[in-house]
Amino acid sequence: MLHSLSDELLLSQVKALAGEERRIHREVLETLLEVDRRQLHLARGFSSLFVFCTDELGYSPASAQRRIASMRLLKEMSPPERERVQTKIETGTLTLNHLAQVQSVARSEQWGLETKREMLQSVEGKSVRQCEKILASQMTSPALPRETIRPVSATLSQVTLVLDEETLQLLERFKGLTAHRNPLATNAGAIRLALQIAVERVNPEREVRGKGSAKSESDTGASQSVPTPKAAAGHRDCRPHSSRNPSRPLRRSVWRRDRACQYVDPITGRHCNSRFKLELDHHVPFSKGGKTTTDNLRLLCRAHNAYFGGRIKPGRASVEKMWKLRPCTRAHLRGKKTH
């Protein structure tokens, strides 16, 4: 038991554990590099490495971000240079915080790898505060506070963000235009109202009634009136198309049906369900004879759409191995000749 240890033994033990922790940090970064290289987080149904680290590995958002930023910086280096930096992580002269801060500032300042190397040498062995001062002295623009969202009650959260002058003027103008709906002219009320209007406007599932509405629609088809998904199956605009691009009603029908990324990990059964950067995708690729129909279209997040596009092989076996397809799509595949 720890309480029975002498002071010297206790201090020796905690130092040994700290050294072991640094060694584990190095191994975690090496492992994340390989996970990222293989894109295993996408294969397992996570829309990003960040989501994988928080949901699967149990890291807090801040801890996940530090590890990912450090890994990204190591990824840019040659193997010998990477080995030297990892050794310094293990000895403690460089920490995950050093690497993450350098990478964060480098992104905002658009530094190249050579400048990143110089900054790593400058912050080596320095405290967190010293590191911040060194990096701040090299920045051409003032360091802005991070955007944060902090719960303050069961239903309310405090949001911290920095607005430029143009955005602030737009906010004030909006508050004036909508004062009848936001009588107290609060920023929170204005943002809520603005988001309600914006989401309604760009929502691909939105149905607009009235003649001539289609003429004013954008190319995204976010506001074209369509029947319900069930009725849309028999609508003339939802019939199979020879074009790769679906019609607006067909697009909306798929959006109403899926509403989130439809990727499913064939091993764990995990659904991605991300709503970030959703894109339409053909179950059976258009280039392989896939039709532009409701049954052959699905929503994928951009990460899984790109992942799928890079991993799929011609032929039925590869498609069915990588994806859980709907019965209608499997029937379609059985009718196609494999290459």
Identify the H or E element spanning 199.
Answer: helix 187-202
Q: In terms of domains, do 245 and 325 share one?
A: yes
Q: What is the pLDDT of residues 114-155, one digit of tens each?
A: 999 999 999 999 999 999 999 999 998 777 788 889 999 999
Q: In terms of domains, do 188 and 227 share one?
A: no
State what percent of residues in the chain have pLDDT above 90: 65
Within-domain flag for 53:
yes
Identify the H or E element spanning 278.
Answer: strand 278-282
Within-domain flag for 57:
yes
Within-domain flag for 87:
yes
CA–CA distance, 75 with 294 (Å, rounded to integer): 41
If you count DSSP H runs as helices and E runs as strands, how many of each does the chain have, helices first? 15, 4
Q: In terms of domains, do 123 and 191 share one?
A: no
> Per-residue pLDDT for 2 more than 90?
no
Q: In terms of domains, do 114 and 15 share one?
A: yes
Supply φ then ψ for residue 300, to 5 degrees.
Answer: -130, 145
Within-domain flag for 234:
yes
pLDDT of residue 206: 76
pLDDT of residue 308: 83
Within-domain flag for 47:
yes
CA–CA distance, 1 with 16 (Å, rounded to integer): 17
Q: In terms of domains, do 169 and 244 share one?
A: no
Q: In terms of domains, do 93 and 20 share one?
A: yes
| Residue count (the chain) | 339
Q: Which domain holds residue 53?
A: 11-137
Taking CB atoms within 8 Å and a gap of at least 24, the contacts of 329-335 are: 329/283, 329/284, 329/295, 329/296, 332/284, 332/290, 332/291, 332/295, 332/296, 333/284
Within-domain flag for 16:
yes
Q: Which of 202, 221, 252 is the last residue of a domain?
A: 202
State what percent of residues in the chain have pLDDT above 70: 81
Q: In terms of domains, do 18 and 132 share one?
A: yes
Q: In terms of domains, do 66 and 41 share one?
A: yes
Q: In terms of domains, do 172 and 226 share one?
A: no
SS3 292: strand
Total of domains in the chain: 3
Q: In terms of domains, do 235 and 124 share one?
A: no
Q: In terms of domains, do 311 and 218 share one?
A: yes
Its pTM stands at 0.73
Q: What is the pLDDT of residues 258-285, one digit of tens each?
A: 999 999 999 999 999 999 999 999 989 8
Within-domain flag for 147:
no
Q: In terms of domains, do 171 and 252 share one?
A: no
Within-domain flag for 339:
no
